[in-house]
Amino acid sequence: MSIFIDSETTLLVQGITGRDGSFHTKQMMDYGTRVVAGVTPGKGGQRFEGSVPIFDTVADAVDKTGANTSVIYVPPPFAADAMMEAAAAGIRLVVCITEGVPVLDMTRVYMYVKEKGARLLGPNCPGLITPGESKVGIIPGRICTPGSVGVVSRSGTLTYEIVYQLTRAGLGQSTCVGIGGDPINGTNFIDCLDAFEKDAKTKVVCMMGEIGGSDEQEAAAFVRDHMTKPVVGFIAGQTAPPGRRMGHAGAIISGSAGTAAEKIQAFKDAGMGVAQRPIDFTDLVKERM
């Protein structure tokens, strides 16, 4: 089993003919993902790589192919409309890779997608992968291997680092999810932790957070109160200089709230294993398998 995507996932790509969309669509197809459609307004009727039909709208693509998942590679000014278009067309999982989506846009998108009953992952995220079954987004498939360790992270590149270390140690993954580091995103830590708790295949969960906000503290409370499976956590930004602006829009510390020390203490109070460095995950996971 897995969470959110599996071998039955049928994917459409919004922005399939753009630079990023075309490159990563090929990567997803090579991995074995069932890419059934692409969407680029004005290019309906064409085909990508000779086999994937391109449509002008998501509604047409869903109607003709039955796609249940969408991944978005469009510029920031058009990303909000793309996410809402996908949800309006009946897509159940919308994955937005686009970085730089205005927060004001996301205030509209967040509620609209929920009202349509869809799940949004992102924006500004690397997507997700269920090793050996399906890849949606930009996580490198070659560093992943099937197994029973669930992975959820706010950071894209940190996701890759942890997954690589797990694979090298012979610890395969059930599903790896990058939720993104923007202030408003569609899927949070608790959503993923709850899904991993209910997934029969997942035995241990690795959670990578970072400074700023209170998502990690809320996730720790969820682990303490609702999870039976062991969770190992890490906080990025432990050495960040006070007052320094960091890369993620959500990495904002206000007073004492959102600091690495506060989040690490919350993890410890919840009974979670705490990694001081990404490489520490392997030993911590092995102890809890």
61, 248, 250, 253: the active-site residue: 248
Residue 14 and residue 112: Cα distance in Å, rounded?
18
Q: Evaluate whether 96 touches 79 at the Cβ level (below 8 Å).
A: yes
**Torsion sign across C-alpha atoms 281, 120, 183, 196:** negative
Is 226 an annotated catalytic residue? no
Q: Which alpha helices (DSSP H) does 200-259 contain, by range?
A: 215-226
Q: In the structure encoding, which two tokens stand for residue 104, read together? A: 């004001």
Identify the residue whose tokens are 């630079």. Answer: 19
Identify the residue whose tokens are 């997942």. Answer: 202
Residue 26 and residue 212: Cα distance in Å, rounded?
35
Residue 147 and residue 149: Cα distance in Å, rounded?
6
SS3 114: helix
The residues carrying an active-site annotation are 248
